[in-house]
Structure 1
Amino acid sequence: MKKALLFTILLCLFITLVGCIVNNEQPTDDSLLSADTEKDIQETSEVDEETSGVDEETSEVDQETSHDNHNIDPNDIETVIHYDYYYVNLEEALPLCTDIVVAEYIGKKNTERDTINEFVIKKRILGEHVSDTIFVNNRILEVHITATSTSYISDAPDYIVGEQYVLILERSVSVYYETDRYLPVTLLYLPANDLSKSTICGEDINKYTTEIKFTKDLTVSQLLDYLTAATKDNKKPFTGRPYIKSDKLEDVVEGSEYIIKIEVGKNVTSSMTINRAVYECTVKKVYKGELEVDIAVRIFFLPGTVEEGCKYIVAVEESEGTNKEGFVLSSKNSIFTVKQEALIVSKLK
């Protein structure tokens, strides 16, 4: 009896132990694999974070590079004009110029498309004296040298404030610019204190000139003598369209091709247009010139000078090649209120 009871107790203990073992939740191979996978994912995530850090550093480097290049995107036509350029030597560039001066560099300002350099003229050997101060516009261009694989972003040379330079320029005149613009006839850099450092398109100028050599012995006086003789037949005073400089009403009325009353319509200025605003206008009255009333015309105004839906009296010139559909201002003082009508009419001859 005792043996039977002991056997029963041992059997119950065995069954209980087996049940505990069977019901115990041990990790399966799948769960072990999942744990390893989670570890792999975590390690991968850490690698991605490190890679992200590298990308951020790269981004910062790219930003610094773009700052050095005036934030220019060579693929953005809004900020850079793509330009095919032929190397020209000094002799080929000289017939294109209207002005040659020796000038001291004052400083610069950058616009979206230009670097504008200010100079004070110290000596002039070619061109009309307009002001002692001139502003030289260097277009920001993506230059491709034709027939070569060379391309680069072209900007103004690294002028030094207070230093003097020989400038070979083309004067450009337009009513839509604050002052006359002076443009380099080619990418020339001629430092007066050491002409042996002169360059064309960033390269030694001696590669692109045959009649004069830019050595350390070459003086500014000698260079100016050569330039004076080489440009003796240059007669063109400027490029662009002349306009009435006077601010006197009688001069503007007398010198303008058309005096008309217009109603300003829609602004149709292109995103590529700078320094002017183009509006569709309707001609309401003609005081001077031959033009039909109630026809639609386009007029180029200075930005911010007219409003849509308003009427003005304007002094304008016909824009070339537009068959009387396009007009430009004849002066910087060519927009009048309709209340000035009697005064304007009194100036007509």
Structure 2
Amino acid sequence: MDLLVLENILDNTAFAILFIAMLLYWSGAAFQNITLLPRLGSVGMAIANLCMAALLGARWLEAGYFPLSNLYESLFFLAWGITAVHFIAERTSGSTLTGVFTAPLAMGITAFATLTLPSDMQNSAPLVPALKSNWLMMHVSVMMLSYATLMVGALLAIAFLIVTRGQNVQLQGSSLGLGDYRLKTPSPPTEEPAISSPTSPSLATGQTAVLERVTTETLSPPPLLSPQRLTLAETLDNISYRIIGLGFPLLTIGIIAGGVWANEAWGSYWSWDPKETWALITWLVFAAYLHARLTRGWQGRKPAILATTGFAVVWICYLGVNLLGKGLHSYGWFF
């Protein structure tokens, strides 16, 4: 079979299976008594992962170089990385919960690559001279894996914010520990403020009734999270923290490798290219996240908000820079 035909079959198959896996995970979340659905979703994620690995392998054989030279190839490598990190998160947590969030992300990326990109951007092309280096595999693959890992961790932080919306949820215990988290919500006020009596000469009866109602509504605590939502929030926060802690060293190694390669190709370790600048911004955001959790003691929603910012920054660094500006890293993409 022609490799090009095989690639077309594999990319469409990966997209279709990820779509089915997403539906299975969502159905499993809606009907929690049917445990078979998320398990089938995990099987679908594994099949999609193998399809994308086979696609990238076929591209490697066809082009003769590691398949990370254009947007199509990098999108499928990113989706493959997300499905791989999904299984790490799933195995770490012992739950299929992460698929509810990772399956739509991987499916959306494959849909964009398969259905949106024009055919000329999907075809492999000869490498430009600067990319003909062994550093292509070392630098770009590590950077893409770091993007995939950080995206998954940040996405789970977004899910944590959704689950705990309206609640000032905090974690009991040290952020240095990777287990034994306990969640708590604010306690209701122990002292009732003094309320003017209905017979107070300074307030009319109608005014007093309004004051009592407003005060009661203002001081009453928000409804507490159910034990199920607390457990879900705890799981999401725990996994997010672990996954971001895995992605940050990968990002660091990738940036260092990129600097060495840049010096070899262009004679400078750092040139403040848009991609380099946003990679540094991404590094700083997630460094701040880990610093806040490890040394500042930030817990609960505050670090999750910081991780959510990191999710947007990663996408700007990976895709936005190449869509909106020209630079040394725009080979074979939109510019």
TM-score range, shorter chain: under 0.3
TM-score by length of 1: 0.21
* Larger RCO: 1 or 2 (CA < 8 Å, sep 6+): 2
TM-score by length of 2: 0.21
Greater share of strand residues, 1 or 2? Answer: 1
Greater share of helix residues, 1 or 2? Answer: 2
Q: Which structure: larger Rg? A: 1
